[in-house]
Amino acid sequence: MTRTGLTSAVLFTLVALSFPSCGFADELAGAVRLGGQAVSGAKVTLWRTAGKAAPSVLAETSADERGAFKLTFPSGQPGSVLYLTTRSGQGNAVALLSVLGEKAPSDAVINELTTVASVFTNARFINGTAISGNEVGLRIAAGNVPNLVDPSTGTWGKVLLDPLNSSQTTTLAKLNTLGNLVTAFATSSDDTWRADFLKAATASGVSAPTDSLEAMAGIARRPWANAATLFALFEKAYPPPKPGARRPAPVLPYLFNAPSDFALSLWFDGGGTLAAGKISIDANGNVWTGVNWMPGSQSGVAANIGGGTAKYAPNGNALSPPITGFTGMGLDGVGWGTGVSLDRVWIGGLNGTILLMDLDGKPVGKESDFPMAGKLGGVMGSGIAENGDVWMADGTRNHLLLFPGGRVRDGRIVEVPGLKSPFGVAIDEQNRVWVSNAQSNTVVRFPADDPSKAESFTVGISPRGIALDSKGNLWVASNMSPDFPPPVIPDGVSIMEQFEIALKHMLTVLEKNPTMRTGVLNMITPRGTQPAPKGFDGDKGVYVAWGVSIDGDDNVWFGNFWGRGVGLMAGADPKAQVGAKTGDLIHMFQSGAIQMVTDIGIDPAGDVWVANNWNVIEAVVAKRPPGPISTKGGGQGVVAIYGVAAPVKTPLIGQVREP
State the CB neighbour count (10 A cutoff) for residue 551.
Answer: 25
Angstrom distance (rounded) from CA 367 to CA 29: 56
The distance from CA 218 to its chain's CA centroid, rounded to whole angstroms, is 19
The residues, any chain, with a CB within 8 Å of residue 209's CB and separated by 6 or more, are: 198, 201, 202, 215, 217, 218
Q: Which helix (H) or strand (E) holds 465?
A: strand 461-468
611 closest CA partner among 553, 565, 556? 565
**CATH 2.60.40.10-classified regions of the chain:** 26-145
- Annotate 382-417 with three-state secondary structure: EEECCCCCEEEEECCCCEEEEEHHHCHHHCEEECCC
536 closest CA partner among 551, 563, 556, 509? 556
Angstrom distance (rounded) from CA 390 to CA 283: 17
Q: Could you give the 3-state DSSP secondary structure of residue 166?
A: helix
How much is the average pLDDT of 439-447?
A: 98
**CATH 2.120.10.30-classified regions of the chain:** 265-641
State the CB neighbour count (10 A cutoff) for residue 125.
Answer: 25
How much is the average pLDDT of 312-328?
A: 98
Q: Could you give the 3-state DSSP secondary structure of residue 191?
A: helix
pLDDT at residue 244 above 60? yes
- In CATH, which superfamily holds the domain spanning 265-641? TolB, C-terminal domain (2.120.10.30)
Contact predicate 102/108, CB 8 Å: no
User: Which phi and psi (to 5°) does residue 508 adopt?
Assistant: -65, -45
Contact predicate 627/298, CB 8 Å: no
- Give 236: exposed, middle or buried? Use CB within 10 Å, 0-12, 13-18, 19+: middle
Q: Give the single-character DSSP code of 405.
A: G
How much is the average pLDDT of 369-391?
A: 97
Q: What is the pLDDT of residue 457?
A: 98
How much is the average pLDDT of 376-403?
A: 97
Q: What is the pLDDT of residue 75?
A: 83
State the CB neighbour count (10 A cutoff) for residue 249.
Answer: 21
pLDDT in tens, 512-551: 998 999 999 999 999 999 999 999 999 999 999 999 999 9
How much is the average pLDDT of 588-597?
A: 98
Angstrom distance (rounded) from CA 39 to CA 35: 10
Q: Could you give the 3-state DSSP secondary structure of residue 324?
A: coil
Angstrom distance (rounded) from CA 443 to CA 548: 14
Cross-strand partners of 589: 566
Q: Which helix (H) or strand (E) holds 84?
A: strand 81-88
**Does the domain formed by 26-145 have CATH 3.40.50.2300?**
no
pLDDT at residue 17 above 70? no
Confidence tier at 204 by pLDDT (50, 70, 90): low
- Give 127: exposed, middle or buried? Use CB within 10 Å, 0-12, 13-18, 19+: exposed
Q: Where are the beta strands (DSSP E) in 184-341?
A: 265-268, 276-281, 287-291, 309-312, 334-340
Q: What is the pLDDT of residue 18?
A: 40
- Annotate 119-138 with three-state secondary structure: HHHCCCCEECCEECCCHHHH
pLDDT at residue 2 above 90? no
Angstrom distance (rounded) from CA 526 to CA 515: 36
What letter represents residue 452's amino acid?
A: S
Angstrom distance (rounded) from CA 43 to CA 35: 18
Angstrom distance (rounded) from CA 575 to CA 641: 22
pLDDT in tens, 575-592: 878 889 999 999 999 999
261 closest CA partner among 612, 608, 591? 591
639 closest CA partner among 603, 228, 512? 603
Confidence tier at 4 by pLDDT (50, 70, 90): very low
pLDDT at residue 374 above 70? yes
User: Which phi and psi (to 5°) does residue 228 adopt?
Assistant: -65, -40
- Compute and round to an integer the Cα radius of gyration of the chain: 26
Confidence tier at 170 by pLDDT (50, 70, 90): very high
CA atoms within 13 A on the CB side of 499: 24
First to last CA, the chain: 56
Confidence tier at 79 by pLDDT (50, 70, 90): confident
Q: What is the pLDDT of residue 576?
A: 77
The residues, any chain, with a CB within 8 Å of residue 320's CB and separated by 6 or more, are: 271, 272, 308, 309, 310, 311, 326, 361
The residues, any chain, with a CB within 8 Å of residue 455's CB and separated by 6 or more, are: 444, 445, 446, 528
Edge to edge, what strands does the sheet with 390-394 contain?
379-384, 390-394, 399-403, 412-414
Q: What is the pLDDT of residue 12?
A: 35
Contact predicate 548/278, CB 8 Å: no
Confidence tier at 230 by pLDDT (50, 70, 90): very high
* Segment among 58-62, 87-91, 450-454 with least mean pLDDT: 87-91
User: Which phi and psi (to 5°) does residue 63 adopt?
Assistant: -75, 145
State the CB neighbour count (10 A cutoff) for residue 438.
Answer: 25
Mean pLDDT of the chain: 94
CA atoms within 13 A on the CB side of 234: 28
- Taking each helix axis from N to C terminus, what angle separates 191-200 and 171-187, rounded to the nearest 10 degrees? 140
Q: Which helix (H) or strand (E) holds 257?
A: none
279 closest CA partner among 654, 5, 592, 638? 638
Q: What is the pLDDT of residue 207?
A: 83
User: Which phi and psi (to 5°) does residue 520 adopt?
Assistant: -145, 165
